[in-house]
Structure 1
Amino acid sequence: MKSKINQLKAGVILSYATMAVQSLIAIAYTPVMLRLLGKSEYGVYNLVYSVVSYLGLLSFGFGSAYMRFYSRYQTKHDEDNIARLNGMFISIFSVIALIALAAGAILTMNSEALFSGGLTEHEIHTAKILMELMVFNIAVSFPASVFDSIVTAHEQYIFQRIINLLRTVLNPFLTLPLLLMGYKSISLVVVTTFLTLASFAVNAWFCFIKIKTRFIFNNFNFILLKEIWLFSFYIFLNMLTDQANWSVDKIILGKMKGSSDVAVYSIGAQFNTLYLSFSTAISSVFIPKVNRIVAENDDNNTLTDLFARVGRVQFLVLSFILTGFIFFGEYFIKVWAGKEYATSYITAYHVALWLMIPVTVPLIQNLGLEIQKAKNMHKFRSVIYALITVANVIISVLLCPSFGAIGCAIGTAIALIVGNGFIMNWYYYKRVKLNLYHFWKQILEFAPAFILPCAVGGVMKYLLGIDSVLKFVGLGLIYALVFAFSMWSFGMNNSEKQLFKAPFIKIRSYFVKKEM
C-alpha cells in the first residue's frame, strides 16, 4: 500500500515537472519555431493535424475500457483472464492500426479536394506530405497505447512519467536542428514519430521484463469483446465530440478564412492545450483507484470525497494559471508570438480566454468522467455532447464570416458552458449520485482568497500597465507571491497545506540525514 501511495505522489510530482518543462519549452522554443516556420506553414501544420487527428477515433474508446475490465479481474487475482485481456487488446489495436493506414491513404489521395478553397497550391503540397507522416504516427500509436495502459493499470507512475518527461525534453532538441536546416513543419512530424516509436519500444520492454506482462492469444472471448464494445461505444462517442469541439474551429477557419486565421486561432488554442494538461496531470493517476473503488464496493460517499479533494487541488492550480493569464497573457502573447502576429496577438489572447474560462468547470470535474466510466454510466454524457457539438459547429459557421477566430471560439465556449456547466452537473447529482452540493461548497470556500490577488492583478494590468519585459517579470513574480499568500492564508485547508509542504519536508530531511 505504501508503495502505491508513493507511486501516486511521485506520479503527480513528475506530472507537474513535465507540465513545467512543457511550459518552459513553450516560452523558449515555440517563438523560435513560429519564426522559422512562418505564419502560413504553422497554419497548414495545425490544419492538417486537426484533420488527421480524427483517425485517433478509430480506437473506438477501447483504451478506456481496458482499465475497467483489468480492475474486474485484478480484484479476483485472475491472472489468466488478465493475460487474455492483454492478448485481445493488442490484437484489436494492431488491426485498428492497419485500418488507420488504409483510411489515411484515402485522405492523402483526396488532400486537394479536402484543402482547396482556403490553401494555396504550395500549401496543399506541404499538407499532403504532412498528412502521410502523421497517418503513420497515429497508426503506430494504437498498439503503443496498449502497453501504456498496462503500465497505468499497474500504477507504475514513476516510470511512465519519466518517459513522458523525456519525450517532452527531447522533442525541441531534436526538432530545432532540422528546422534550422530548412525542413520546416515536416521535421516536427518526423521527430514526433521517432519519439512515438522509441517510447513504444521502452514501454514494451518494461511490460515484458519488469512487470512480467503475459499475453494469451488463444480462446478469444467474443462474449467479453461484445461487452467491451458496448461499454466502449459511448466512450468513442465522447472522443468524437471532444475531438470535434477542439478541432472543428480550425477546419472551419481553414475553409472559410485561410491558413493565417488558423495560425492565429492555434496560438490561442495552444495555451488552452497547456491548460488542459495541467488538470489531467492530477486526475490521471487516480483512474485505477476509482475503478478499484467501484469494483469493490461502489461507495458513493468515498467517490464524492475523492471527487471533491481532487477537484479542489485542480482548482487551486488552474485558478493560478487562469488568473495569471488574464492579467499577463495579452502582453506575453505579443512578445512571444513575434512581429508576424503584431496585429493579431489580441485576437489570439481573446481566443484563449474564450476557450480557457468555460473549460475550467469540466477540468476540475474530470475525475467525474472516470467515475462515470467505472460505473458504466457514461452514455448520457456521450449523447448530450453529440448534440452540443452540432450546436458548436452551427454557431461557429454562423459567426466565422464576421468574427473569424473569435467567433469560432465563442461557439466552443457556448457548448462547454451548456454541456459541462449545467447539464453534466445535474447528471452527476441526479444519476451518478455524487454529492454536488458538497463538491461546490468545497470549491466556493476558495472565494475569499481571490479578493486580494484579483485586486492586485487588476491594478497591475489596468493602472500600472505591463509594457516591458522587466515589468512583466517583476509584476508577475509579485502576483505569484500574492496569490500564494492569499490561498495559503484564506483558501487552503490543512491537508492541502500538508500536501504542498511534504516535498520540501522530504528534501530537508534528506539533507539533514546527509549532514549527520
Structure 2
Amino acid sequence: MQVNQLKAGALLSYGILGLSNLVALFYTPYMLRMMGQSEYGLYAIVASIMAYLTVLDFGLGNTIVRYTAKFRAEGKLKELNSMYGMFVLVYSAIGLIAVTLGIALYFNVDFFYGDSLTTEELYKVEVMILLMTFNLGITFPLTIFNSIITAYEKFVFQRVLRIGYIVFNTSIMILLLMMGYRAIGMVALMTVLNVIIQVSNFCYCRYGIKIKVRFKGFQKDLFKEIAGYSFFIFLGVIVDRLYWSSGQLILGAKVGTAAVAVFAVAIQLQQMYRNFSTAIPGVFLPKVTAMATKQSSEKEISDLFIRTGRIQFIILSLILCGFVLFGQQFVIIWAGADYAETYIIALLLIVPLTVPLIQNIGITILLARNKVKFRSLFYLGLASFSVVLQLILVDKFQGIGSAVAIAIGMILGQWIGMNIYYYKKEKIDIPRFWKEIGRMALAPFILSLLVFVILRWVELDSLLKLAVGIVCFVAVYLPVFWKMSMNEYERNLIYSPVQKVLAKLKGKMPAKLV
C-alpha cells in the first residue's frame, strides 16, 4: 500500500507540474489581458508582501515531517501527539503575529506606496492586504496538518487536493474575470480556496489518519532541539524571498504597478524554468546521502556531482537555448507588447540561475555532511547585498536594474563563491565539472549561434511562424545534442526505458500483428 502511495504520489507530482505549466502557458496571457498591467501589478505587490509574512513559518513544516518520522520509528506515539499540540500552539502564536503585522501594513500602505500608487490603487492594496491577512490568520494554525499528511506519506490525498485547487482556481477565476472582477476578486478566491484546503487537511488528519492532538504543556527541550534543526531551513526561505519577492516590492514603492507587472511575469517565467529542473527524477539523492554518510572517496562524490549535473544540463540547455532564441517573440505574442521588457529581465534571471540548478545535488551533499551552515549564511549575506543593489539601480533602470542586481548576487554567490567552497572545502572536482559541462555546451552554443544569425533574416511575427520555428530548431537540436554532447551512459538513460516500453507493447500485441 505504501509503495502504491509513493508511486501514485510521484506520478501525480508530475501531473501537477505539467498542469501548472499548462495553466501558466494558456491561462496567464488571458489573465494579463483581462486584468491589465495596473491590476496585475497590484496583485503582484500584495502577493510579494504576503510571501514575506509566510516566512514566519520558520522552516517548522520540514521539522514536523522529520520528527514525526523519528517518533513513529521509536514508537513514541504519546510524545508525538504532545508534539503536535505544541506545534498547534506555536503556529497559532505565529498566526497572531502574522495578523498583527498584516494589520500594521494595512495602516501604513500610504507610507510605503503613497508616492507611486494612485488613491484608488492604494485602496485596492489595502483591501487585498486585509484579505490575505485573514488568510494567514486561518492558515498558520492549520498548517501543521499538511506537514503531518506529508510525514505519514499520504501523497495521493495531497496531490489530488492540489490538482483540485489548480483546476477550481483557474476555472472560477476565468468566470470572475469575465464578470469584471480583477485583483481583489483573485485574492478573495484564493483566500476561500485556501481555507477549504486547510480545513480538508485537518479533517483528513482527524478522521483519515486518526491523528490525536494533545496539549500537555510546552516541551522546552524538544522545542530547542527543533528550533536548532529548522533555523538553517528558515535562512534558506529568507534567501529565496529576498531574491524572488523583493523586486516587486521595491518597484511598487519606487516606480509603479506597470513595472511590477512586467517584472512579475519575468519571475513567473523564471519559476517555470526552475520547475523543469525539479522534474528530473531524484534517483541519485538517496545514493549521495548514503555515500556522504559512509565517507565515500572524493572521486566517487565528484563523479556523482558531475554525472547529475550533466543530466540536469541535458534538460535545461534545450530550454535555455530555446528561450534565448525565441523568447522575445514568445513573450510579445504570449503576454502582449506591453511586456516586451520581460524578455530581458527573464534572461537576466534565468541565465545565472542555470548554474545552481545544475549543481543542486551539492545541497544534498552538504546536508548529508551537516555542513549547510556556511551556505545558508553566505547566501543570506549576498541576497541582502542584492536587495541593497536593487534599491540603487531601480531608480534609473527600473525592472532591468532589479534583475541585474539579482543576477550579480547569484553570480558572486552561486557561481563563484559556492564553486570555490565545493572545490576547496568539500574536495569536489569543480574544474573537471566545468570541463565536462563546457564540452556538452559547445554543440548547442554553435547551433544556437547559427540559428541566431538565421533569425536576423526571418520575422516570427505570428504564433504559427513561432511554433514552426521552435519545432524546426528542436528537430535539429535533439539529434545534434544526442550525437555531440551526450555520452553512452546518458543515452542509455533515455534509450533503455524506451526499449522496455516497446518490448512490453510488442509482447501484448496479437501474434499476427507482431
For the superposition of Structure 1 and Structure 2, which TM-score range results when normalised by the shorter chain? 0.7 to 0.9
Q: Deviations over 1:284-311 (max 9, x none)?
A: 8987x48974997575777766655544
**Equivalent residue in structure 1 for 2:128, among 130, 139, 158:** 130
Matches within 5 A, 1:307-318: 307-318=305-316
C-alpha deviation, 1:107, in angstroms: 1.3
Q: Within the alignment, does 1:483 sit opposite 2:477 as a pair?
A: yes
Report the Cα distance in structure 2 between the residues aligned to 1:431 and 1:216, rounded to whole angstroms: 45
**Equivalent residue in structure 1 for 2:227, among 226, 229, 236:** 229
Matched residue, 1:391: 385
Report the Cα distance in structure 1 between the residues aligned to 2:336 and 2:480, rounded to whole angstroms: 34
Match for 2:478: what amino acid? A
C-alpha spacing 1:282/1:198, structure 2 compared with 1 (3 Å): farther
C-alpha spacing 1:399/1:451, structure 2 compared with 1 (3 Å): closer
Report the Cα distance in structure 2 between the residues aligned to 1:282 and 1:290, rounded to whole angstroms: 15
**Equivalent residue in structure 1 for 2:274, among 276, 296, 318:** 276
Report the Cα distance in structure 2 between the residues aligned to 1:293 and 1:149, rounded to whole angstroms: 25
Matched residue, 2:162: 164
Matched residue, 2:40: 42
Conserved 8 A contact 1:111-1:128: yes
Conserved 8 A contact 1:282-1:310: no
Match for 2:268: what amino acid? Q
C-alpha spacing 1:430/1:488, structure 2 compared with 1 (3 Å): same
Q: Deviations over 1:313-350 (max 9, x none)?
A: 333222222211111110011112225x1xx51x2110
Matches within 5 A, 1:100-139: 100-139=98-137
Conserved 8 A contact 2:321-2:444: no
Match for 1:98: what amino acid? L
Match for 1:31: what amino acid? P
Matched residue, 2:242: 244
C-alpha deviation, 1:240, in angstroms: 1.9
C-alpha deviation, 1:125, in angstroms: 0.4
Q: Deviations over 1:160-179 (max 9, x none)?
A: 44433333333211111011
C-alpha deviation, 1:391, in angstroms: 2.1
C-alpha deviation, 1:248, in angstroms: 1.8
Match for 2:20: what amino acid? Q
Matched residue, 2:174: 176
**Equivalent residue in structure 2 for 1:403, among 397, 408, 425:** 397
For structure 1, the residue ranges without an aligned partner over 5 or more in a row are none
Match for 2:33: what amino acid? R
Conserved 8 A contact 2:443-2:484: yes
Q: Deviations over 1:345-368 (max 9, x none)?
A: 1x2110000011111112223343
Conserved 8 A contact 1:150-1:207: yes
Report the Cα distance in structure 2 between the residues aligned to 1:252 and 1:279, rounded to whole angstroms: 28
C-alpha spacing 1:161/1:197, structure 2 compared with 1 (3 Å): same
Conserved 8 A contact 1:64-1:232: yes
Moved more, 104-113 or 275-284: 275-284
Report the Cα distance in structure 2 between the residues aligned to 1:233 and 1:187, rounded to whole angstroms: 36
Matched residue, 1:338: 336
Q: Deviations over 1:432-476 (max 9, x none)?
A: 555545655654453345246424542453343422222201111
Conserved 8 A contact 1:40-1:260: yes
Report the Cα distance in structure 2 between the residues aligned to 1:487 and 1:9, rounded to whole angstroms: 31
Match for 2:113: what amino acid? F
Conserved 8 A contact 1:90-1:143: yes
Conserved 8 A contact 1:140-1:196: no
C-alpha spacing 1:76/1:28, structure 2 compared with 1 (3 Å): same
Report the Cα distance in structure 1 between the residues aligned to 2:152 and 2:426, rounded to whole angstroms: 27
Q: Within the alignment, does 1:352 sit opposite 2:346 as a pair?
A: yes
Matched residue, 2:467: 473
Report the Cα distance in structure 1 between the residues aligned to 2:131 and 2:297, rounded to whole angstroms: 46
Report the Cα distance in structure 2 between the residues aligned to 1:203 and 1:507, rounded to whole angstroms: 37
Conserved 8 A contact 1:10-1:158: yes
C-alpha deviation, 1:243, in angstroms: 0.8
Q: Deviations over 1:243-262 (max 9, x none)?
A: 12212222222222111111
Match for 1:165: what amino acid? I
Report the Cα distance in structure 2 between the residues aligned to 1:199 and 1:313, rounded to whole angstroms: 36
Matched residue, 2:29: 31
C-alpha deviation, 1:115, in angstroms: 1.6
Moved more, 71-80 or 400-409: 71-80
C-alpha deviation, 1:415, in angstroms: 0.3
C-alpha spacing 1:461/1:146, structure 2 compared with 1 (3 Å): farther
Report the Cα distance in structure 2 between the residues aligned to 1:286 and 1:188, rounded to whole angstroms: 40
Instruction: Count the aligned residue pairs.
Output: 509
C-alpha deviation, 1:481, in angstroms: 2.6
Larger radius of gyration: 2
Moved more, 199-208 or 350-359: 199-208
Match for 1:52: what amino acid? M
2:110 counterpart SS class: helix
Superposition TM-score, scaled by structure 2 size: 0.86
**Equivalent residue in structure 1 for 2:376, among 365, 382, 391:** 382
**Equivalent residue in structure 1 for 2:416, among 404, 419, 422:** 422
C-alpha deviation, 1:42, in angstroms: 1.1
Moved more, 153-162 or 121-130: 153-162
C-alpha spacing 1:139/1:291, structure 2 compared with 1 (3 Å): farther
Matches within 5 A, 1:191-206: 191-206=189-204
Q: Give the superposed CA RMSD.
A: 3.4
